[in-house]
Amino acid sequence: MSDIGKSIIQFIVEEQRNHPGSTGSFTGLMTDIASACKKISHLVNRSGIIGLGGAAESENVQGEVQKKLDIITNDVMVDHLNWTGHLAAMASEEIEEIIQIPDGLPKGEYLITFDPLDGSSNIDVNISVGTIFSILRCPPGVTEPTVEDFMQPGTEQVCAGFCVYGPTTMMILTTGQGVNGFTLDRDVGEFILTHPKMTIPEETAEFAINMSNQRFWEPPVQRYIDECMKGVDGGREKNFNMRWVASMVAEVYRVLTRGGIFMYPLDTKPSTDGGKLRLMYEASPMSFIVEQAGGMSSTGRERIMEIKPDGVHQRVPVILGSKKEVERVVFYHQNDA
Ligand code: AHG
Ligand code: MN
Ligand code: MN
């Protein structure tokens, strides 16, 4: 029987039955995340009407000007996740310190990291934004988690997912058994499985990179993009198309559906310290999803999933998507550096 049409919670309950000893806590956590994302979808959708557009008067830990919705969506995530007893602590792109569970509330066996609103520069121009999350296990015996407890490589993720608030609201999820896509049915208020077993097409001819950074890239990336631009006139077997949405959620969703490569490589801009995208909120969860969909993800020098973080807000270069294209960029890093 086809799985299409199942609610996300039914899907997860059935998936968890394959894990002997599973307590149901993970299913509870996913229910909370789905609720938070439904609320965020609603707020994003109504932001213009209820006065939530525009910038706040604050900066986040990376020195980026926060949008009002960056702050509000962070609060929605925290408020939905901190009281049900499934988490031991949280870390958010928008908050400098890790977020503890308030005193008096039960603690659980998981840690979560999240980017509550990815692509928030796109809010005011009505382009897709999203939420990205990554679930880790809290080390056994730890009741007061510290930053050190979060310093686990992406290979330790129990689950990674993201929502795109676009023409439809979708949640893309992996627990290490492939990638599944769910669409929010607003009439019934449930995420419904619409895109089972998503795999990244192998044959692709689309690249995504912010070309305005070109002069700051390293030679291997210069070479790869130069060849894409020249297409069949420059030694490649095909011509390429280019996209840059500036919302990673939308770019990764496109890569999952029609293939291609997405890059935010190392550059020499003073504002980016070793890369722009954040390992624990963006790079690591997206790498888990892309690998589970048959793609590849690298900094150019190493597999992102194997990086042991040195801080919750660490940034890394990101090159992900269709395997053959990512392999080519990695090869250029090994041979042109
Ligand atoms: P965020 O809105 O969470 O800060 O993330 C934005 C990220 C990512 O989604 C996107 O790919 C990239 O920043 C866009 O960066 P540029 O504006 O430098 O192109
Ligand atoms: Mn982001
Ligand atoms: Mn963000």
Average pLDDT over residues 98-125: 97
Ligand 3 (ion): which residues have CB within 5 A? 93, 115, 117-118
If phi > 0 it is left, if psi is from -120 to 50 it is alpha, else beta; for residue 55 that is beta
pLDDT for the residue 270: 76
Identify any residues that bridge with 320 across adjacent strands, giving them in sequence order: 262, 297
User: Is the distance from CB of 39 to CB of 120 less than 8 angstroms?
Assistant: no
Does the pLDDT at position 149 exceed 70? yes
Query: Cα 302–256–112 angle (5° rounding)?
Result: 65
The tokens describing 278, both together, are 């954040």
Pocket lining: 247 vs ligand 1, CB cutoff 6 Å: yes
Cα of 115 vs centre of ligand 2, distance in Å, is 6
Instruction: Quick: pLDDT tens for 197-225.
Output: 999 998 789 999 999 999 999 999 999 99
Own/partner pairs, 186-192, CB within 8 angstroms, 24+ separation: 189/38, 190/7, 190/8, 190/9, 191/7, 191/8, 191/34, 191/37, 191/38, 192/5, 192/6, 192/7, 192/8
Q: Taking the CA atoms of the chain, what radius of gyration do you get in angstroms?
A: 19
Does the pLDDT at position 337 exceed 60? no
In the chain, count of helices (H) and strands (E)?
Answer: 8, 17
How confident is the prediction for the chain on average, in pLDDT?
A: 95
What is d(CA 284, CA 82) in angstroms, rounded to the nearest whole number?
23
Query: Cα 257–261–265 angle (5° rounding)?
Result: 140
Instruction: Quick: pLDDT tens for 301-320.
Output: 999 999 999 999 999 999 99
Pocket lining: 248 vs ligand 1, CB cutoff 6 Å: yes
Pocket lining: 119 vs ligand 1, CB cutoff 6 Å: yes
pLDDT for the residue 273: 73
List of domains in the chain: 8-195 (3.30.540.10), 206-336 (3.40.190.80)
Cα of 311 vs centre of ligand 1, distance in Å, is 19
Pocket residue to mutate for ligand 1, from 95, 244, 276, most atoms within 8 A of Cβ: 276
b/e string for 61-77 if b means 16 or more Cβ within 10 A? eeeeebbbbbbbbbebb
pLDDT for the residue 52: 87
Q: How many CB atoms lie within 10 A of CB 146?
A: 11
What is d(CA 170, CA 289) in angstroms, rounded to the nearest whole number?
14
- Structure confidence at residue 1 as a pLDDT band (50, 70, 90): low
Cα of 93 vs centre of ligand 3, distance in Å, is 6
In what order do the strands lie in the sheet containing 110-118? Answer: 99-100, 87-92, 110-118, 129-137, 159-165, 169-174, 179-185, 190-195
- In single-letter form, the type of residue at position 188 comes to V
Ligand 2 (ion): which residues have CB within 5 A? 115, 118
Pocket lining: 127 vs ligand 1, CB cutoff 6 Å: no
Cα of 37 vs centre of ligand 3, distance in Å, is 14
Task: Identify the nearest ligand to the CA of 92 by its number.
Answer: 3
Q: Are strands 129-137 and 159-165 parallel, antiparallel or unpaired?
A: antiparallel
pLDDT for the residue 335: 92
- In single-letter form, the type of residue at position 212 comes to S
Pocket lining: 171 vs ligand 1, CB cutoff 6 Å: no
Identify any residues that bridge with 181 across adjacent strands, giving them in sequence order: 172, 195
Instruction: Quick: pLDDT tens for 73-96.
Output: 999 999 999 999 999 999 999 999
